[in-house]
A and B are shown apart, each in its own frame.
Chain A
């Protein structure tokens, strides 16, 4: 892996979104990944619809939570994703109003990624932002800087929040992952969370995945 990488500087990441009072982080994590994959394959950055997944992905539980792996399957079953403009976010479950004619993006497959953080970094730099899930310990009060909670307090066995890896690097020799969150820009560093890299902090490596666009 290159020593540092940031997809935000390369136009592969849309603005930070806000899931509101709804446990739909899984949808934001997956659309963020698909936005990046589509950009890298088609050269077009589109902001995609999370509400489509909240309403129409019957494998998951809308605001009660969901799994990225199910969301990829749902996107393939539905036939693709509409854009944010066409199917905008409301933050609560509605009747599915998906229309195939409005689909702007499709995916062909989805893959599980390595649990080795070095390999994840290499994959990210070459292939794009990665959907991950972490233990959100401390994030309620996080403001800035690189978070590195004790492993005992931030166990990889209690994963409860899905987010998007968009880059990595070092700040004053402290290695970090740059993580796009979905709690708005008035949280963290303009909506981003920085987590220690290389120590498997908060289970950052346990549930990495990506859509595949051919």
Chain B
């Protein structure tokens, strides 16, 4: 039998006016805080949309062209590397857009081969306002506390740095999840805070479950009214 396909799953589609709106919104967020002339521009866009209730969730892939930049303290990429491949998730609720996720990394092979460069995440909360001056220090302090609490050891200084950058991105992501939760849950540092989403899925979750219930079982008899 063919694999079960969820009714809201869609193939990636080339850009349409509907996809362009959330893509432009994502780019605006990406560019927030930059002066004219230093802003990145949108290249190719493709995407898909899932709808439920009054909202739509757009998953987008886009190339983003960075303007030439010569200041190494400011540039996202070295001078010769201008194109980024980004994935965005934009939620549209009643016409109001929110950027839930944004990950950008170099697009060309030469850059991808360079192991010193990694895809980096950015999130709306990081871009919404200028970061507080002590943001990094607070994060470092939180990360140190995390290492002590969960007894973490890393093989090298490089790995520790890499894990800290994941931790920082995860903290911002936890804030986003917190902001969108309609219950009373609190999200924040957990023992999984130094894992990428991909690592977390691979090590702790169960991809087979979405294939369906598996073996057919008989339906349980309902409980009678006492």
Contact = CB atoms under 8 A, between A and B. Distances in A.
Given A23-B206, A140-B200, A157-B7, A152 B177 contact: no
Nearest to B208: A65
Centre residue among B150, B173, B182, B209 by max chain A CB count within 10 A: B209
Centre residue among A64, A122, A153, A183 by max chain B CB count within 10 A: A153
Interface string B140-152: 0000000000100
B83 interface: no
B121 interface: no
Contacts of B180: 149-150, 153
Nearest to A26: B206
A152 B55 contact: yes
A69 B217 contact: yes
A163 to B, nearest CB: 10
Contacts of A21: 203-204
B185 interface: yes
Contact of A69 (B50, B55, B183, B213): B213
A69 B216 CA distance: 7
Centre residue among A19, A23, A113 by max chain B CB count within 10 A: A23
Contacts of A133: 206, 209
Given A143-B186, A174-B183, A183 B204 contact: yes
Nearest to A146: B183
A35 interface: no
**Size bracket of the A interface:** 35 or more
Contacts, number: 189
B204 A23 contact: yes
Contact of A141 (B56, B184, B187, B215): B187
B226 to A, nearest CB: 9
B9 interface: yes
Contact of A23 (B100, B205, B216, B223): B205
Nearest to B200: A140
A25 B173 contact: no
A67 interface: yes
Contact of B190 (A136, A143, A194): A143
Nearest to B51: A152
A59 B214 CA distance: 10
A149 B177 contact: yes
Contacts of B7: 157
Interface in A35-68: 59-61, 64-68
Contacts of A147: 181, 183, 185
Contacts of A153: 57, 91, 100, 180
Interface in B34-63: 50, 52-53, 55-57
Interface string A131-164: 0010011101111111111111101011111100
Contacts of A149: 177, 180-182
A184 B174 CA distance: 20
Interface of A: 19, 21-23, 25-26, 59-61, 64-70, 72-73, 109-114, 119, 122-123, 126-127, 133, 136-138, 140-153, 155, 157-162, 171-172, 174, 183-184, 186-187, 194, 196, 207, 209-210
30 contacts: A21-B204, A22-B203, A23-B202, A23-B203, A25-B205, A60-B208, A65-B208, A66-B208, A69-B217, A112-B213, A140-B193, A141-B170, A141-B174, A143-B190, A145-B185, A149-B181, A150-B55, A150-B91, A153-B91, A153-B100, A157-B6, A157-B7, A157-B210, A159-B209, A160-B205, A161-B205, A161-B209, A186-B191, A194-B185, A209-B213
Given A144-B186, A146-B185, A161-B209, 9 more contacts: A114-B219, A114-B220, A114-B222, A122-B222, A140-B197, A148-B185, A152-B57, A155-B6, A155-B50
Interface of B: 6-9, 50, 52-53, 55-57, 91, 100, 150, 170, 173-174, 177, 180-193, 195, 197, 200-211, 213-220, 222-223
